[in-house]
Structure 1
Amino acid sequence: MTTPRPAAPSPTDALPGGLGRRFSWRGRQIAWTAFGDGPPLVFCHGTPWSSWLWAPYARALSAQFTVHLWDMPGYGASSMLPEHDVDLGVQGEAFAALLAHWGDGWGEAPHVVAHDYGGAVSLRAALLHDARYASLCLVDVVALRPWGSPFFRLVRDHAPVFGRLPPAVHRGALEAYVGTASHRGLRDDELEALVVPWLGDAGQAAFYRQIAQADERYTAELEPLLGDLDVPTRVLWGEQDTWIPADRAGRLSAALGHAEARLIPDAGHLIQLDAPVALATELRGWLAEVGAGRR
């Protein structure tokens, strides 16, 4: 007998009220939510992820912060229209616009925690689009060349072919790819939550589109500017990250010039799932160090 798959969870199920709010930007609908009490704290996800990865951390910190989660255009619960570019240049501009929209009611700069692509997105927003942060925590981020796994590069070079894969083959390839981001291995429910946004006609096309538009020129633009970042910054990295090796933590720290790098053992690229206690401890410690929290 074949064991039935678990019901596909929504990436927004773990969030109070889901990602029920929308920000309209250049024809895109950016899904977001905010909850809690205290100074603003914004989480940025990467690829091929969504805000679902940060939801437990947002809930845990919502007693001290007004936490904000959002899905990048082309990801998760945000719009995935084929005519819209989703490259890192677009995402950096989108984040800066979203922060300006939120900031009308803040009166203070937010603390930002970013993972994977979210690192380049948050850095571009700050260094190229005048976004201001109270602090920045970079977790296993895309920031320095080279980046992208062998599978990622293969798909990028042949995206139209992969976009035509039969749905079952696409799902198998997607699950295998996502699984390699975890050091400890993913539970069935975790894997399902991570892949479900990329299923169906729109999701499958969006998955290969965002890889096809990946271009290292967007991080090449950042590299000579990293030393100009003038906010308190911490770099965290999974010691067993095979997607973006842990040596990048030291390189990034050196390029920033003022950011301490810390490695988290027994954690791969999906550090949120591999080492949740260690990551939560590091985040709380960092935010306390920069004097953040409910006042």
Structure 2
Amino acid sequence: MSPPGRLPAPRYVDLDGVRIATYVLEPSRGEPVGDVVLCHGTPWSAAVWAPVAHTLAATHRVLLWDMPGYGASIPTGPPGQDPVVDLEAQRRRLAALLRHWDLRAPHVVAHDVGGAVALGAHLLEGSVLASLYLLDVVTLDPWGSPFFRLVATHEDVFAALPGTLHAALVREYVAGAVAGSLDARQVDELVAPWTTPHGQRAFYAQVAQLDPAHTRPVAERLGRTRCPVRVGWGEHDPWIPLAQATELAHRLPGTVDVLTVDGAGHLVPLEAPDLLAADLRRWLDQVG
């Protein structure tokens, strides 16, 4: 069993020649009442979900993955063999992973670009979901900072930065996601995968390949969503304004409730894990 607040050792899955780190937590007693898949965003990994995952695993089987290019799925081969890590490729991988896990209709909880990936798997790849919980997700225009555009133009330059400068840049970037601050251990865990030579290359590769053109087909199809949806958002999200939560809910079918997390920024799974886990428990009870 993994320590509280940490994920178990990854189980690796090979899909179409890409090695993907996956994690599974299950109730210590009794059978799970359902399956929940947690999707991370950038520049995070499945580790961002660890506190919430342990809470949900009291009743559900919880499945997580590090998208290729992130966390324990960062490639370690030569540069020319790195997988494509744009949102189109990731949504296809999620759909394939749900099939690999033999999940007929899981509940999916998604954060940041993980929202675009989960919605894309549902709306464009045909994945059947029991429900969607969308948290500070990247879907609607505008998104993508000037930093993204700078990296896309000069990816090789950033990848060649001295390691100490790169680590400082990533720490500053991570710190900019929250409304307050995270403790030093949490920041270290979030930054660590990016500070190896392979991780440095992967960090700038995923930034450079993130493109709003890949979310527009998803945004255009939001009205075709075929499962219950709840939206959650940090009140002071510095990356994606709270107004997008209301707009997203408006574009989805039916009545979609929005949870505003008081005082939180973009990184709600770590800024307010207890509040989020409690809301997710209520949501899962509601949608069955």
Same fold (TM over 0.5): yes
Is structure 2 residue 241 aligned with structure 1 residue 241? no
1:193 maps to which of 189, 194, 208: 189
Give 1:14's aligned residue.
6
Report the more deviating stretch, 80-89 or 267-276: 80-89
Q: How does 1:131-150 map to 2 (within 5 A)?
A: 131-150=127-146
Is structure 2 residue 277 aligned with structure 1 residue 280? yes
Q: How does 1:96-175 map to 2 (within 5 A)?
A: 96-103=95-102, 106=103, 108-175=104-171
- Per-residue deviation at 1:35? 2.3
Is structure 2 residue 70 aligned with structure 1 residue 75? yes
Question: Mind listing any 5+ residue stretches in structure 1 that lack a counterpart?
Answer: 1-11
- Structure 2 CA distance for aligned equivalents of residues 286 and 52 of structure 1: 22
- Per-residue deviation at 1:84? 1.2
Q: How does 1:195-210 map to 2 (within 5 A)?
A: 195-210=191-206
Report the more deviating stretch, 261-270 or 147-156: 147-156
- Structure 1 CA distance for aligned equivalents of residues 232 and 146 of structure 2: 23
CA deviation vs aligned residue, 1:270-293 (integer Å, no higher than 9, x gap): 1112122221221112111112xx
AA aligned to 2:14 is: S
- Structure 2 CA distance for aligned equivalents of residues 94 and 233 of structure 1: 22
Give 1:63's aligned residue.
58
- Per-residue deviation at 1:209? 0.3
Q: How many residues align?
A: 275
- Structure 1 CA distance for aligned equivalents of residues 195 and 150 of structure 2: 20
CA 1:220/1:262 → structure 2, altered by over 3 Å: closer, same or farther?
same
- Aligned-CA RMSD value: 1.5
Report the more deviating stretch, 215-224 or 203-212: 215-224
Output the TM-score relative to the length of structure 1: 0.90
- Structure 2 CA distance for aligned equivalents of residues 186 and 152 of structure 1: 23
- Structure 2 CA distance for aligned equivalents of residues 243 and 154 of structure 1: 17
- Structure 2 CA distance for aligned equivalents of residues 65 and 217 of structure 1: 35
Report the more deviating stretch, 145-154 or 236-245: 145-154
Give 1:91's aligned residue.
90
Q: Percent identity?
A: 47
Structure 1 segments, 4+ long, off by >6 Å, are none
- Per-residue deviation at 1:182? 1.0
CA deviation vs aligned residue, 1:198-236 (integer Å, no higher than 9, x gap): 011100000000011111111111121100001000010
Give 1:52's aligned residue.
47
AA aligned to 1:102 is: W
Contact (CA 8 Å) 1:148, 1:244: kept in 2 or not? no
- Structure 2 CA distance for aligned equivalents of residues 42 and 89 of structure 1: 19
Report the more deviating stretch, 195-204 or 150-159: 150-159
